[in-house]
A and B are shown apart, each in its own frame.
Chain A
Amino acid sequence: MNKNKFLPPIVCGFGAAVLTIVPGIKSFSCCLIVPLAGILSIYLDHRINKSELPIRIKHAIWFGFMTGIIATLFATSLDVLITYLAHTNDFVQALPQTEAVIRHYKLNQVLDQTMSMLRQMSNDITMYGFSAFYTAGILFSNFIINTIFGILGGILGMIFINKRTSV
């Protein structure tokens, strides 16, 4: 088994995960971090493993997907770790604002149900530094978003490499 095959998605996925938690980078690069990691991943694979050209779409999708999965695992782990150390995070800090927006709807019954669940998560984080529900939520949403954007990055990377080498 070629160990180098998994190196580009691991490196790029880890890089993307680190960048997604750095304040400031997010407002600058928006949704481009994971797609860029996907592009870089397939480019690195092409350089390291000398993969045959033209790159096939299945290969590109696989690399994008792997990058997304790795980014998800690292981003969730880093988020959980930082939350555990700080006993707070973006979610806890944004909760009053979220509550104000939901209160604006003036739907008391629904508000109570939704807010009690969110407050429970916030209290767990503030007291113990960990909330299982919050962790499951970020893992799920990170997985969906990162894999989709990773696959898009992989396809874009394939376009760049195939078109450049065919000229």
Chain B
Amino acid sequence: MEASHRSNLPVKKINILAALVERTIFRKRAFRFLLFLLLALWCFAFSFDSLFNGSIEAAITYPFLKYIFHLVCHQLNEKSFLINGNYLMVCARCTGIYLGAFLTSIVALLYTKRTSLTLRWLYISMIPMLVDVASNTFHIYSYSKIFAFFTGLFFGSTVFIYILSTIENNFTDNLYTK
């Protein structure tokens, strides 16, 4: 009786550990899904008027969305994408940054492994964007929406990985293991 009880102990421990791991993965997925939803909402908001051009909702929300995104972007028409006859609420670079973060959040939903990057990658992702901004400012070459978009996309996706890994490695560890 006692011997069988002893042999059950490791199995019990393994079961508890497996349940903990399962719960941790579930919470991690839930947290990443929340981030994905928030980013999806943000991207949906800045493209809302372009996607639903001509609708009542677009007419009502236009002035308010325009003001809200005016806080985070200059919204110059010559630097913004024209979609469906309407300019997006943010410039090409900001579109790239937010879409980069959004696309990476989709990848993060599928790939749940913990990531930890050195600062080097953050600096590397900044370089193309800074070079582009400096080149435009000093008129080395004229502004290109496509180039601004892709430099922003690269930067946005890298920053998202850093922020996600930092939150997961510091803050949500406590949540996962509670």
Contact = CB atoms under 8 A, between A and B. Distances in A.
Interface stretch (B12-20, B22-30, B64-72): B64-72
A141 B59 contact: no
B166 A155 contact: yes
A98 interface: yes
A28 B137 contact: yes
Query: What band does the interface of chain A fall in when counting residues whose beta carbon is under 8 Å from B?
Result: 35 or more
Contact of A114 (B54, B60, B122): B60
Interface stretch (A1-9, A45-53, A124-132, A157-165): A157-165
B61 to A, nearest CB: 9
Nearest to B70: A90
Nearest to A140: B68
Given A57-B170, A105-B58, A155 B163 contact: yes
Contact of A107 (B56, B76, B171): B56
B72 A145 contact: yes
Interface residues of B, number: 34
A31 interface: yes
Given A158-B166, A163-B118, A141 B71 contact: yes
A163 B170 CA distance: 13
Interface string B80-108: 00000000000101100100000000000
A156 B118 contact: no
A74 B159 CA distance: 28
A27 interface: yes
B44 interface: no
Interface string A63-98: 000000000000000000000000000110010001
Contacts of A159: 119, 122, 162, 166
Contacts of A158: 166
Contacts of B70: 90
Contact of A142 (B54, B66, B71): B71
A102 interface: yes
Interface string B148-178: 0000000000010011001100110000000
Contacts of A152: 163
Contacts of B67: 91, 137-138, 141
B90 to A, nearest CB: 8
Given A98-B66, A105-B58, A141-B67, A58 B76 contact: no
